[in-house]
Amino acid sequence: MLMDLSCPIELVSYDITHDDVGNTRAYLLLSNLARRRVLGFDAVIRWKDHAAGTHLDMPYSAQPKDGSARFHLPASTSDMPGADGLEIIFHQVRLEGEAPWDADPARLIDWEEPKEPSGVALDRLQQAAGDDAVCFPQEDEHYWTCVCGRLNEQGQAKCARCVRSKRMVFQKYRREALLSRSARRKKRTVWRFHPTPLSVVLLCALAGGLIFLLLWTLL
Ligand SMILES: [Zn+2]
């Protein structure tokens, strides 16, 4: 996936649907990372057909009605009936009261999105970090990936998307820490006995009943 970390907007997620006559439609969720309202942008949507191993680039421009935070936009094509994924490469973003942001090919990073956990691992992650968490944090010498899925530069102390601090993310939400903690908790739940007044009374009654039964049998 190609991305420029300086871009003031980003694609957060999308849903793709197909109709019976070969049209592909996408419902895009975009996020404004700048402090100013987004007036409009020019970009290219790269429709991807993973099964066929093909893609199609389509110019895409929009003027969102409310570009202040997160906003939805539609997109469609009749030239890619098998599309099952997409990415957006932004060329220019126009912000209220600021000079336009222009893409620079030299800043583009070809980034492989982190593999998303599933099942118990995803449950543990979201219980600890929140419903927007989609992956365990990762880092290399240049970048770190937040639990929300956003790539950030290594020197950035807070995530550009969710504003979680890098320090907290790596302290609390590492895969090893979360999964080993949940395993220990499960073990404790299974084996530890917590006596309560009621359970003590019941156990005494059971023991007394057994002794009485034994004595009655012997006599
Ligand atoms: Zn984040």
* CA-wise closest residue to 50 among 2, 15, 83: 83
Q: What pLDDT is recorded for position 190?
A: 52
pLDDT of residue 132: 93
Number of domains in the chain: 2
Domain with 15 in it: what CATH number? 2.60.40
Please give the pLDDT value at position 189: 52
Do 22 and 104 have their domain in common?
yes
CB 132 within 8 A of CB 162: yes
Q: How far is the CA of 152 from the centre of ligand 1 (A)?
A: 9
162 is a domain residue: yes
**87: β partners:** 46
Residue 174 domain-assigned (yes or no): yes
Q: Which of 111, 136, 169 represents a domain boundary (last residue)?
A: 111
Give me ligand 1 centre to Cα 85, in Å: 22
| Residue spans of the chain under pLDDT 50 | none
Find the 98 Cα to ligand 1 centroid distance in Å: 25
Same domain, 185 and 126: yes
Same-domain pairing of 82 and 136: no
pLDDT recorded at residue 196: 73
Q: Do 130 and 98 have their domain in common?
A: no
User: Which among 52, 84, 111 is the end of a domain?
Assistant: 111
Report the alpha-carbon distance of residue 129 to residue 164 in Å, rounded. Answer: 10
Residues 88 and 57 in one domain: yes
Contacts 24+ apart (CB under 8 A), 20-23: 22/78, 22/81, 23/76, 23/77, 23/78, 23/81
Amino acid identity at 160: A
70 and 162 assigned to the same domain: no
Is residue 93 located within the same domain as residue 137?
no
Whole-number Å distance, alpha carbon 55 to ligand 1 midpoint, is 28
**Predicted local distance difference test score (pLDDT) of residue 35:** 83
In a domain, 208, yes or no: no
pLDDT in tens, 122-141: 999 999 999 999 999 999 99
Task: Give residue 212 CA to ligand 1 midpoint distance, Å.
Answer: 65
Cα 132 to ligand 1 centre (Å) = 9
Report CA(87)–ligand 1 centroid distance (Å): 19
pTM listed for this prediction: 0.73
Residues 5, 144: Cα–Cα separation, whole Å: 12
Of 79, 111, 143, which residue is a domain's last? 111
DSSP for the chain, please give it: -EE-TT-SEEEEEEEEEE-TTS-EEEEEEEEE-SSS-EEEEEEEEEEEETTTTEEEEEEEEE--S--SSEEEEEEEESS-TT--EEEEEEEEEEETTSPPEE--GGG-EE-PPPPPP-HHHHHHHHHHH-TT--S--EE-SSEEE-TTS-EEETT-SB-TTT--BHHHHHHH--HHHHHHHHHHHHHHHHH-----HHHHHHHHHHHHHHHHHHHHHH-
Ligand 1: centre distance to CA 118 (Å): 19
Calculate how far, in angstroms, residue 12's C-alpha sits from the geometric centre of ligand 1. Answer: 11
Does the residue 99 lie in any domain?
yes
Same domain, 101 and 46: yes
The values of phi and psi at residue 112, to 5°, are: -95, 120
Residue 17 counted as domain residue: yes
Instruction: Please indicate, yes or no, whether residues 39 and 143 belong to a single structural domain of this protein.
Output: no
Question: What's the gap in Å between 163 CA and the centre of ligand 1?
Answer: 6
Residues 59 and 128 placed together within one structural domain of the fold: no
Q: Is residue 132 part of a domain?
A: yes
Distance in Å, CA 151 to ligand 1 centroid: 8
d(CA 113, CA 135) in angstroms, rounded, equals 10
Q: Is residue 206 situated within a structural domain?
A: no
- Parent domain of 150: 113-190
Question: Does 18 lie in the same domain as 91?
Answer: yes
* Domain assignment present for 40: yes
pLDDT value at residue 194: 61
Pair (96, 82) in one structural domain: yes
